[in-house]
Chain A
């Protein structure tokens, strides 16, 4: 501490150490938040449902997604990545997930939203890619599936949180259309 340079160095070093501790505590404070998000997804229409030339089933849906994720926004939340996935079981796999729609919410004001959309990404069963010799690929006909709203909270500092809301009771028709 005997010279200007040494004192400046001591201030900066100690300040940055404390800054790291502050960021850690800001991250820990997220644990005190108990969010109560709500979500509802309606399948308004099955636009078409067909077998691709390679044997995989593909379906096009019209969805109405409404959700209130504003309680996820703590002071340490930078943005929330949210996506809707169709989840179903096949003989080959206990869990298949197909992302249908996603979005990035950047502020609390936009966290309560409502969107009417067709699936942004193709809803295709991958059976024929994964097990081309053992699967006929007719996995989606008459299939019951869940629509799950997943979210990942990206914090300003610290730990990333992820959670989901599972909505059950959706099913695909028995016949192609």
Chain B
């Protein structure tokens, strides 16, 4: 899941849960049935989990663009002082 996918998944998750909570509370109160509220909400939680938890393809539409490897070769990493490094190694062996 890419960065935008993660953000999208979180927003979708929060909105869906709140909407199902309100829907469950509303229907439960309207028909006077506590189990209806619980089942509505439980169904909503399961559906939300199915949509936002697995790594679905639509969460991967904005892949990061990394630099080409050739670019890295043109700007090499600064080298560590070789002499100092070998000295350290030598003292360790003693």
Contact = CB atoms under 8 A, between A and B. Distances in A.
Interface residues of A, number: 20
A116 interface: no
A1 B17 contact: no
Chain B binding surface SS class: helix
Nearest to A155: B34
A60 B25 CA distance: 49
Interface residues of B, number: 26
A15 B24 CA distance: 13
Contact of A2 (B1, B13, B24, B52): B1
Interface of A: 1-2, 4, 7-8, 10-11, 14-15, 18-19, 21-22, 25-26, 29, 74-76, 156
Interface of B: 1, 6-7, 9-10, 13-14, 17-18, 21, 24-25, 28-29, 32-34, 37, 41, 45, 48-49, 52-55
